[in-house]
Copies of this chain bind each other. A is one copy, B any other.
């Protein structure tokens, strides 16, 4: 469990990264943000890497259990995808500063232990999605003229870019509301339907 001070440090780190990028995430800036001296940080975290680990754990905890449930429910595949992403949007909406951390690959370069943790999170998301799409395809609910893995790339890619756009707009629009629209659009595209033509 984390002490209040540790939580404060993690929160400040998240804000720093989202404001100034990875390069802005230094112990000096961090301590300035909180209002204590640099060495004081080390009373609460062994090293900078341990702060990063704590950040990842926050995300992991936030999304824990969010995925297995969706896989096993007997809702329509489409509905499950909706819920999956709606929940992600909710997490981001609550802690916008998570976005640049989770979506930044540079942050963890060189820290092979951390890369694994990031890929664990991302991979879980993608595999769950492919699984759901495949089920939807065999239920005749999702079009099967396009491979599940391709649909997954399309859906994930769209959503990633969408979230990035939100980030670069300085979180200026309502990600939950706009996200709903995007999901709706995606639904239209992947829904099983009759096409007049293909190439």
Contacts and interface: CB of A to CB of B under 8 A. Distances in A.
Contacts of A104: 106
Nearest to A167: B105
A104 to B, nearest CB: 6
A190 B188 CA distance: 10
- One complex includes copies of this chain to the number of 2
Given A153-B182, A160-B160, A20 B109 contact: yes
A176 to B, nearest CB: 16
Nearest to A103: B105
- Interface magnitude class on chain A: 35 or more
Contacts of A4: none
Contacts of A189: 146, 154, 189-190
A110 interface: yes
Given A23-B110, A161-B161, A194-B196, 20 more contacts: A20-B109, A21-B110, A104-B106, A105-B168, A150-B181, A153-B158, A154-B157, A154-B158, A154-B189, A157-B160, A157-B162, A158-B158, A188-B198, A188-B199, A191-B198, A191-B199, A192-B196, A193-B196, A194-B194, A194-B195
